[in-house]
Amino acid sequence: MKAYYDQRAPEYDDWYHGTGMHASIERPGWHEEVARLTRFVGGLSPGRTLDVACGTGFLTRHLHGEVVALDHSPSMLRVAAERAPLAELRQADALALPFEDESFDRVFTAHFYGHLEPPERAKFLAEARRVAAELVVIDAALHEGVDAEQWQPRKLLDGSRHVVYKRYFSPAVLAEELGGGTTLFSGSWFVAVSARNDSALSGG
């Protein structure tokens, strides 16, 4: 996944904008929901936030407060530096966060958790819970005709081909996986759930 996203950085936002290779894909209500999602992100309470796997910073730039944006990909971070100039950028591994315990009020992560296979998921959740009391996860919504778990063939503009692991979530399933949480956003394309350390621990 790391190499694929590093290569995809220059064309990544085409997915949000419905341009480039995504121009011909039928996604009813997509643009309205992307706008709603960005408003939702902008409406999260300000605080010291770590955006894990920030990508191009498409959503990062809407976060308020003191924002640290982390990604493994140098190409993604180059774009994020322009998109989200107020955020402090860090190149690091999301599964071994280079921060002290409880360094943040919130870990925010979008379209990352659903790419993790079980051992990575457990590592990421442990790291997120270690550095912040709250975890907000945005991911792809499960909708009709879509399998919840897929290995998707992907192609980039340079002609390279990749296979990517991706999951789609109902808010309830995502909340349960996070050990108990609150649904903050439930759309046709995106879901967002907030989980707090205390509920995560008691919910297993």
Q: Which residue is nearest to ligand SAM (CB)?
A: 55
Q: H helices within 104-185, ranges in order?
A: 118-131, 171-177
**Contacts of ligand SAM in 102-131 (CB under 6 A):** 110-112
Amino acid, single-letter form, for residue 152: Q
C-alpha span between 105 and 91 (Å, rounded): 20
* 2 touches ligand SAM by CB under 6 A: yes
Q: Helix, strand or coil for residue 12?
A: coil
* 97 touches ligand SAM by CB under 6 A: no
Supply the minimum distance, in Å, between the C-beta of residue 8 and ligand SAM.
Answer: 8
DSSP state at residue 169: B
Question: Sheet harboring 132-140: ordered strands across?
Answer: 88-91, 65-71, 47-52, 104-110, 132-140, 190-196, 182-186
* 94 touches ligand SAM by CB under 6 A: yes
* 49 touches ligand SAM by CB under 6 A: no
Supply the minimum distance, in Å, between the C-beta of residue 202 and ligand SAM.
Answer: 28
* 168 touches ligand SAM by CB under 6 A: no
Pairing state between β 47-52 and 65-71: parallel
* 93 touches ligand SAM by CB under 6 A: yes
Binding stretches for ligand SAM (CB under 6 A): 1-2, 5, 53-55, 58-59, 71-73, 76, 93-95, 110-112
